[in-house]
Structure 1
Amino acid sequence: MKHDPISPGWLSRPPPKLDAVQKYWLSRPGPLTQGLRRQGQVRIQVVGEFAEVVSTDEALTIRKQANTVVWVREIFMSIDGTPAVVARSITPLDASRSVWQAMRQLRTRPLADILYHDPAIVRSVFESCIAKSPMPIFKAVARAGQLPPPWQATLPTRRSVFWKNGQPLQVTECFLPAFWSQLLRHPKA
């Protein structure tokens, strides 16, 4: 199925300047945490959970008005103490109290715990980009204290939308520079 990205800066395939390993991780199907656990001990830290008005970019992908209030969950994942991924998940505030209410009760458990066991949930195709300011995921990386120095500034990122009963849950995952170094030391996909 052909997919045209909805938002500027996002591509239907991983950016061409990335290497084969980075492209693989940006398009790897299934739960990301499952793949990360093959690399080592994964620790999830909640950076923040809060309500905010959705960005124009995110409003397009979740098919909502730009003034929609969404529930946001931002987490930071490390592997054996090495910074790996910052993730940002959003759903309309009303959906966070109904269809996607389990998202608000995860604490340090991965979102995969609620996404991959329900046949009513359908996932969109991935979009990819290199995260930059002022993207919401870039701001999440900053809130997590994980902005790389300018010479390491490539932040390969992917996102997809999970749909359940007509309600979206967008998940955006940004791979940090140290993740690729960890992968080179212990290549287990």
Structure 2
Amino acid sequence: MPHTALLQPSSWSTADQLQPTPAPAVHDWLFNEDSLTRRLTALSADAFSVTPLNEGWDTLRSDECAALGVAEGSQGWVREVYLRGHGEPWVFARSVAARSALEGSGLALDQLGSHSLGELLFSDRAFDRGALQACHYPAAWLPAAVRTDGLWARRSCFSRGPLGVLVAEVFLPAFWPAAGIQG
């Protein structure tokens, strides 16, 4: 299998660039600017949870370096989790921040555990959210247990001064029926 740093998504696109345009209900989940954590909590009638998969310092992917405006091959904090509804993995989330900006920022990503990063970012008014982008996420970038081609993903960068936290969220197959949307 090729090294994941070499793989690129078809392209991350903003809502007005995305072609073909997904169904309106899918488009709403991809480009809604509200907290995804809050929307999933409501959809699951408060049966929402976060399961950390792995986190730590690692080399960021090329697309992540470009989005964060750091040099190719930069080190960063990488956090991968499942966002679950009723125990089912609905969303795979990968959040990254460049080491150069994270160290000394006061943001303790390593202490989140099973808490939602989204809640932290949305509750801190110092963070500004950049434009939402979407793509079909490369299957090779997903955990083996949910590796599927063609899954919709979205990402945005939350910034506070020099710190950028890039958050990518991939909607897994179990999510769409739970949301009442045809797959």
TM-score, normalised by the number of residues in structure 2: 0.84
The RMSD of aligned alpha carbons is 1.9
Q: Number of aligned pairs? A: 169
Percent of aligned pairs sharing the same letter: 25
Following the alignment from structure 2 to structure 1, what is the Cα–Cα distance between the partners of residues 162 and 128?
A: 10
Following the alignment from structure 1 to structure 2, what is the Cα–Cα distance between the partners of residues 50 and 15?
A: 35
1:91 to 94, 97, 114: 97
Instruction: Encode CA deviations 1:97-146: one digit per residue, 9 max, x unaligned.
Output: 3226322111000012321222221110011001124xxxx52x225x21
1:16 to 16, 20, 23: 20
The 1:8/1:178 distance shift into structure 2, 3 A limit, reads closer
In the other structure, the counterpart of 2:70 is 64
The Cα shift of 1:15 comes to: 4.7
Q: Which runs of 5+ in 1 are unaligned?
A: 1-6
- Paired residues for 1:11-160 under 5 Å: 11-13=13-15, 14-40=18-44, 41-99=47-105, 101-133=107-139, 138-139=140-141, 141-143=142-144, 145-148=145-148, 153-160=149-156
Instruction: Encode CA deviations 1:30-86: one digit per residue, 9 max, x unaligned.
Output: 211100011111121001002111111111100000021011000011111222000
The 1:61/1:100 distance shift into structure 2, 3 A limit, reads farther
Q: Which runs of 5+ in 2 are unaligned?
A: 1-8
Question: Partner letter of residue 48 of structure 2?
Answer: V
Q: Do the aligned partners of 1:53 and 1:67 also contact (CA within 8 Å) in 2?
A: yes
